[in-house]
Amino acid sequence: MKITRLSTTLVDANWRNFTFVQIYTDVGLVGLGEATIRCREQAVVGAIEDMSRVLIGQDPFEIQAHWQMLYQDFHKRGGVILMAALSGIEIALWDILGQALGVPIYQLLGGKVRQQVQVYNNGWFEGSRTLDALSQAAQQAVQAGFTALKWNPFHGANGWLSPTQRKQVLEEVDVVRQAVGDQVELMLEAHGLFTPAEAVRIANELAVYRPFWLEEPVPPEDETAMAFVRQRSPIPIAAGERLYGKYEFSRLIEARAVDILQPDITYAGGLFETRLIAAMGEARYLSFAPHNSGSPVSTAAALHLAACTPNFLILELPTNDVPWRLELVEPAIEIPQQGFLEILEQPGLGVKLNQKIVDAHPYQNPDRVYLSDRVTPEMESLKQRLKKLSSADEERDGLGN
């Protein structure tokens, strides 16, 4: 079997474009992978096209050989662009191998260690601008079958919280906790908005609400700063969505900087690299909770890793980003039952793109969304900058197309 060509597809999905890669073979098998990142999807597509030149004519089963060659032979290693491209390609290769052998990917990585995968909801809060609306949205998410919810309550934070902001944060978390009760887990997303000292202070103030974790309380570049927070926080610390590959994660792990590792399979290096990262964490008694903000294709890849990884904890499940999300792949896989998703048993990745949905949502410039009200707190500065563009600038920069 030989690789004959690679193709990429961009699908408009609100604040980002889902980025898919498909690898074709001379026997008719087609592998599907995902390489979605926010706002730099065209660069990822270019990287995939560059990498494809050395894959054409190769054996798709030699996954690790291709990974090592693509990672090492491109002199400038790592970074989100190259790692996303490499991850999407690697996932698609595993899909081909599983299809060819007639087994799901998790079987090729050691087999199941669990029968179901617990998930948490990220996106349940979309459009909620008041405490009452947030309370209702949280209750609706629980009624929909979720037993764990994540969101970012730190609106306007920029290193430090003002007294007013601090009061608002505590009120918001209190409202959500009261809305869902004590049996639902709450994850607090900080997106690296705090200094180490402020992260420690707000963690101590929030501890009374029993958050399951505090995610990325400080920026990801300095693992010693993250370790400073972890050593002083009464709330477990999770991080890793902005790290790429086992080498970056090794520094985080050895610094004892987190309790929960959060690599994203679609840009941390793909399935096998992420499995290695999880194993490194297992040796230090750390849990593995994959970051997953992409499409159901990303969810499918994560389900296979969750199925076969002993220290897996819980999986992120995005909701409310686009109304057609459940229709994007066949079969639909993101329907939780009592907080759990079923493990996929079909050969390979186990899902295919619904071409009708793909064709209905072609690429759009994702900067548009930052001019709307649907913007995360850490993107406020970009939103304000984009608002200053004149109509002429919009057309020149691609914002008016």
Q: Return the residue matching tokens 């869902």.
A: 180
Active-site annotation holds for 361: no
Active site residue 155: no
Residue type (1 letter), 390: S
Catalytic residue among 75, 155, 291, 304: 291
DSSP per-residue letters across 283-336: TTT-EE--B--S-HHHHHHHHHHHHH-TTB--EEEE-SS-TTGGGSEES-----
Please report where in the chains the tokens 């793109």 appear, as a residue. Answer: 353
Q: Tokens 């008041």 correspond to what residue?
A: 130
Catalytic residue chosen out of the listed positions 75, 155, 191, 361: 191
* CB hemisphere CA count around 254 (13 angstroms): 6
- Crossing angle for the helix pair 80-101 and 41-52, to the nearest 10 degrees: 60
Alpha helices (H) along 114-235 = 131-143, 163-180, 196-206, 223-232
Instruction: Give counts: helices (H), strands (E), the chain.
Output: 15, 14
- Annotated catalytic residues are 191, 291
